[in-house]
Amino acid sequence: MVKSVRLAVFASGTGTNFQALHDAILQRHLHAEIVRLIVDKSAAGALNLAKIFGIPATFIKYSEYKTKPEAEQAILNQLKIDEVDGILLAGYMRILTPTLIDNYPSKIINLHPAMLPNFPGRHSILDAYEADVDMTGVTVHFVDNGIDTGKIIAQQKVPRLPNDTLQDLETRMHNVEHVLYPNTLEQLLNEGVFLK
C-alpha cells in the first residue's frame, strides 16, 4: 500500500490555492492529505476554508516572538507533531529562514505569479504589468535560502492582453495557478519527492 504523504499548507490570504490543492487531492484520489494549515494573519480567509474542510489550523503571530527563527521553531514543533512530510506555500507572504528550510530540504514548494527568474518578490504581477510585458506566467519551484531562487519545477506562460487592467491580468494568473499547482503536486507525489 502506498503511504499517504502528509502535507502542510501555509497561506496568508483568501486561500484559493489552498482550496485548489485540497480539491485536487480529493477529486484525483492522490496519495496525500493536508494535515495542517499554517497562517500568519488572524483574518486570513484560508482559516474559514480549513474549518469547512475539517483541517486543523494554526495562526502564528510573528510579533509574539523575538525573532523570525523563533516563530518558525514554533511552526516546526507543530509540523513534527503532525508528522508532516512536505510544505506547500500558497500565498504565504513571508520569506522562510533556514530554521524551516533546513528541516525540509527540497520538500518546500512555492507558487510564484511570474515566470522566474523574472519578477521575483512580493509584487510580481504588478511589476510585470507596469513593465508592460506582453507575456508573464506562473512558476512552481522548490524553496531555498534565496528569494524565489529555488529550482524551478513547472512554469506556464500567461499572456498580458493589450486592453488588460491589472485586475484582468491578476484573474488570468490566478486561474492558471489553480490548475498548475495541483498538477505539479500530482507530479511530485508520483515522483515520491516528499518521501525521499
CATH number (domain holding residue 25): 3.40.50.170
Q: What is the DSSP letter of 158?
A: E
Domain count, the chain: 1
On whether 13 is known to bind a ligand per the annotation, the reply is: no
For residue 110, is it within any domain? Answer: yes
Catalytically active residues, by annotation: 112
Query: What is the number of other CB atoms lying within 10 angstroms of the CB of residue 64?
Result: 9
* pLDDT at residue number 122: 87
Closest C-alpha to 53, from 41, 35, 39: 35
pTM exceeds 0.85, yes or no:
yes
User: pLDDT truncated to tens, each residue of the chain (196 aa)?
Assistant: 567 999 999 999 999 999 999 999 999 999 999 999 999 999 999 999 999 999 999 999 999 999 999 999 999 999 999 999 999 999 999 999 999 999 999 999 999 999 999 999 889 999 999 999 999 999 999 999 998 999 999 999 999 999 999 999 999 999 999 999 999 999 999 999 998 8
Q: Is residue 76 part of a domain?
A: yes
Residue 78 within any structural domain of the chain: yes
Question: Is 68 annotated as a binding-site member?
Answer: yes
**Was 190 annotated as part of a binding site?**
no
Q: Determine whether the annotation assigns residue 149 to a binding site.
A: no
Range of the domain at 104: 5-121+138-157+178-195
The answer to whether residue 170 is domain-embedded is no
- Grid coordinates given for 43: 483574518
Residue 155's nearest CA partner among 119, 194, 196 is 119
Query: Is 168 a domain residue?
Result: no
Residue 126 included in any domain: no
Q: Is 16 annotated as a binding residue?
A: yes
